[in-house]
Copies of this chain bind each other. A is one copy, B any other.
Amino acid sequence: MRRLTDAEIEKSIGSLIGWKLDGKFVVKKYRFKEFLKGIEFVNEIAQLSENQNHHPFIAIDYKLVTLKLTSWHAGGLTDLDVALAKKYDEIYEKYKI
């Protein structure tokens, strides 16, 4: 999968809610009402990551979970990162309450 151009990245990020560009990464912070809800979310993200063989950086700071995505092989962001960012947002809907 090829690396997106700056124009493509700008357009793709613009279609995502809460995701921010950080160098070669896109980053989002997800907030949970309970610590263990955040952990359940991380488990589902982890299973998906393993199935896709595409692992985001995950940080758990009590009820705040940060996900950070890039495509190492492409040297930057690809359509897969954009698709996964959307998928993570869908998964979050199940655990945010």
Q: Contact residues of A with B, CB < 8 Å?
A: 35-36, 39, 42-43, 46, 49-50, 55, 57-62
Contact = CB atoms under 8 A, between A and B. Distances in A.
Q: How many copies does the complex hold?
A: 2
B59 A59 contact: yes
A62 B55 CA distance: 6
Contacts of A61: 57
A60 B91 CA distance: 18
Given A57-B60, A57-B61, A59-B58, A35 B39 contact: no
A58 B46 CA distance: 14
Contact of A46 (B39, B50, B59): B39
A63 to B, nearest CB: 9
Given A39-B42, A57-B60, 4 more contacts: A39-B43, A42-B60, A46-B60, A60-B60
A69 to B, nearest CB: 13
A62 B39 CA distance: 16
